[in-house]
Structure 1
Amino acid sequence: MNKDVLVSIVIPVYNRENIITETINCAINQTYKNIEIIVSDNCSTDNTLAIIKDLALADNRIKILQNSENLGPVLNWKNCIDHVSGDFVKILWSDDLITENFIEETLKLFTDDCAFVMSAIKHFNGNIENVIFESNYQQRTVYDKDEYLKNILIYNKVVFPVSPGCALFRTKDIKSSFLEEVPNPESLVFKRYGAGNDLLLFIITANKYKYIKVVPQFLSYFRSHSESLTLSNSLDIYYEYAKWYFINNEYRKLIPDFGAKIYFRNLRDSMTYKIMVKYINVKVNLFTKIKYYLLKKVQI
């Protein structure tokens, strides 16, 4: 990969005075040097903005965006992305960390037929050495797009991440795959949490290319804490509506399989899925139900 390629690292942030220095330093210390660091402060009420300004004085690659009002998380992501200049973009959540060689290792795997490049992930609680989860999809470094989509949308036999915080994207793909809201009959406001919006960045982009690639090393570290939006809220239904939106509009060959999945989910939890079952209105035959049940029980 040409070292003249500019990579944009974007950091949307709100009230992270205790950890934002560590996060921004992960970007500053990248071994790949041709980067810009865009930090969008979502009208923080603590000392976050002052800390960012101090860091920017020491590194002119840091560009600060200061919102005059709190836009909510998803529109703050968009604010970052709207201001990037790089050909590639890395979303670095304000409570997460990456290793110093993240950009270098992911960037060099890009080819014309590759949608995005992910690294392996560790989740930690408090101290980075207190690991509570490790990914295993990195056992392979290349996945066919159809295999990837079937897994992440339906069967979940290979547990791929929904957070784009572990991946490097082309800027043009992030921009064209970004959705603020997803149609649904339950008045769910997707820009409130970003659940589903994050997954759509992956799957809409994946559908445009032949492969996705994985760096087998653990280069991404996700912090687990009570203030995390995805941990503090039950958001599964948001993800299922996002998946349905994509399948119904871009990947219709999986409609029967998705219908079978929601059929079984509704059997287990009708309070959550009864409206969705009626909304998607997919007639699932017995063969598809049996196929789904068996494929969930055995390896694909």
Structure 2
Amino acid sequence: MALVSLCIPTFNGARFIEESLQSALAQSFRDMEILVVDDGSSDDTLRRVQSLATLDPRIRVVRNEKNLGLVGNWNRCLEIAHGEWIKFLFQDDLLHPQCVEKLLAEARRQSAPFLACDRNFLFAESTTEELRAIYARNRATINAFLGPGRGVSADEFAQRIPRRLNNNYVGEPTSTLIHRSVFERIGRFNPEFTQLCDLEYWTRAASHYGIAFVPEALTTFRVHSSATSAINRNAHSFRSTGLEGLILVDAFLEQDAHARLRERWAALGVLGAIQNERWDRANEIFEFVRKNRASPAQRESISSEYAAFLSRHPSCRISRIEHLRWLSITLPLRYKFRLGQALNPILPKPLKRGSFRPL
């Protein structure tokens, strides 16, 4: 049995799959299977992968009987992988030739079951400067969060993330290496998520094990308009820009898988603040749905999705009275902020400390 399963979940990835798979074949570490799981592609993906599989017996190709979706296919990879370690490589991304070797070496050095590394980006020409800047800031945030001490402990991770619960402090799955025992103990990826599925799992894993970090760019994440994350943002904007963030906070506060995280937050004295965060987000979603001015078809779709969400997450249900109380708190603060922004250019600048003179 191979020590590492290098898992490549695919769906209509013919454009980049050969380049991605070649980067897997070029790894300096050899004791691994390369598992490609196709989720019913309708393009040339399967033929291209099978053609490469004839060149190297380590490549194992599996085609799902039916389309399982993004997270379903990730979990299918975990279900049929043979290796002691799981290394994801997405169909658009690339690995540095020593990626697996260096991650394994760091895992052994730190006795760490969960690791990540720095990554580069490969932007399509059409990528806006704004989006490039977002990825650059996120990379800097991750390196500052994990880099100085080559990772963080479970306690440190739980202590830092309440500042920005929606922020991914680990990176994309292609940049991780995870021991099989992690999945056996805390479960697989949560299929309820479409956009924050990796973030939820990194939080679950790091709050149990901490995370080790290799501050070297050993992977390349490709950014382009047909990437799954971009499609999800455009096609499921209500879910990806609002609702999924509330699902995330509710999972942290309610699911058994995050009991360890809640224990750490309670010890730190921040659990109440996280509960308030859920209340705020639930009210914001309620207000959005109530005042939604989209087309009738879109309104019906959003209302239906919101109702289905509430049936699964009753702790996020907001009464009219609760919402009025929330509005009474937040609206004055919003108007005060807007008024301050409007008056800022004409108000006198504050005096420097020590410069006050009585009349």
TM-score tier (shorter): 0.7 to 0.9
With the length of structure 1 as denominator, give the TM-score of the two structures.
Answer: 0.77
The alpha-carbon distance between structure 1 residues 238 and 159, as it changes in their structure 2 partners (threshold 3 A), is: closer
Aligned residue identity for 1:198: D
* 2:50 is the counterpart of 1:53: yes
Q: Say which of 174, 181, 187 aligns to 1:177.
A: 187
Match of 2:329 in 1: none
Match of 2:121 in 1: 123
Question: CA deviation digits over 1:40-75, x for unaligned, max 9?
Answer: 111111111000001000011000001222221221
Question: CA deviation digits over 1:5-26, x for unaligned, max 9?
Answer: 7111100101111100011111
Aligned residue identity for 2:230: L
With the length of structure 2 as denominator, give the TM-score of the two structures.
Answer: 0.65
Aligned residue identity for 1:63: R
The alpha-carbon distance between structure 1 residues 123 and 66, as it changes in their structure 2 partners (threshold 3 A), is: same
Give the deviation of 1:170 after TM superposition: 0.3
Classify the secondary structure of the residue corresponding to 1:58: coil
The alpha-carbon distance between structure 1 residues 259 and 171, as it changes in their structure 2 partners (threshold 3 A), is: same
Question: CA deviation digits over 1:221-267, x for unaligned, max 9?
Answer: 21122222322323143244234313433122253121233455567
Classify the secondary structure of the residue corresponding to 1:124: strand
Classify the secondary structure of the residue corresponding to 1:110: helix
* 2:160 is the counterpart of 1:151: yes
Count how many residue pairs are aligned between Structure 1 and Structure 2: 268
Aligned residue identity for 2:201: L
- Written as runs of structure 1 = structure 2, the 5 A alignment for 1:212-223 is 212-223=211-222
Question: CA deviation digits over 1:117-154, x for unaligned, max 9?
Answer: 11112333127xx9933412333212122222343354
Give the deviation of 1:110 after TM superposition: 1.3
Q: Say which of 80, 83, 87 aligns to 1:83.
A: 80
User: Contact 1:31/1:101 (CA < 8 Å) preserved in 2?
Assistant: yes
Question: CA deviation digits over 1:168-216, x for unaligned, max 9?
Answer: 00012134431444xxxxxxx53xx3x333223212222222x311111
Give the deviation of 1:97 after TM superposition: 1.5
More strand by share: 1
Classify the secondary structure of the residue corresponding to 2:53: helix
Give the deviation of 1:76 after TM superposition: 1.3
Q: Which has the larger radius of gyration?
A: 2
User: Contact 1:11/1:93 (CA < 8 Å) preserved in 2?
Assistant: yes
* 2:27 is the counterpart of 1:30: yes
Match of 2:175 in 1: 166
Match of 2:206 in 1: 206
Unaligned ranges ≥5, structure 1: 182-188, 284-300
Give the deviation of 1:101 after TM superposition: 1.1
User: Contact 2:279/2:316 (CA < 8 Å) preserved in 1?
Assistant: no
Aligned mates of 1:40, 1:29 — CA distance in 2: 20
The alpha-carbon distance between structure 1 residues 157 and 180, as it changes in their structure 2 partners (threshold 3 A), is: closer
Between 73-82 and 58-67, report the one with greater CA deviation.
73-82
Aligned mates of 2:91, 2:82 — CA distance in 1: 20
User: Contact 1:265/1:273 (CA < 8 Å) preserved in 2?
Assistant: no
Aligned residue identity for 1:229: T
The alpha-carbon distance between structure 1 residues 94 and 256, as it changes in their structure 2 partners (threshold 3 A), is: same
Q: Say which of 233, 244, 255 aligns to 2:271.
A: 255
More helix by share: 2
- Written as runs of structure 1 = structure 2, the 5 A alignment for 1:65-144 is 65-111=62-108, 114-126=112-124, 132=132, 133-134=135-136, 135-136=139-140, 137-138=142-143, 139-140=147-148, 141-144=150-153
Larger relative contact order (CA 8 Å, sep ≥ 6):
1
Match of 1:287 in 2: none
Aligned mates of 1:272, 1:166 — CA distance in 2: 35
Classify the secondary structure of the residue corresponding to 1:173: helix
Q: After the TM superposition, list the runs of 4 or more consecutive aligned residues in structure 1 that deviate by more than 6 angstroms.
A: 266-269, 273-278
Between 155-164 and 77-86, report the one with greater CA deviation.
155-164
Give the deviation of 1:105 after TM superposition: 1.1
Aligned mates of 1:166, 1:273 — CA distance in 2: 36
Between 160-169 and 44-53, report the one with greater CA deviation.
160-169
Match of 2:230 in 1: 231
The alpha-carbon distance between structure 1 residues 158 and 60, as it changes in their structure 2 partners (threshold 3 A), is: same
User: Contact 2:40/2:67 (CA < 8 Å) preserved in 1?
Assistant: yes
User: Contact 2:190/2:201 (CA < 8 Å) preserved in 1?
Assistant: no
Between 245-254 and 57-66, report the one with greater CA deviation.
245-254
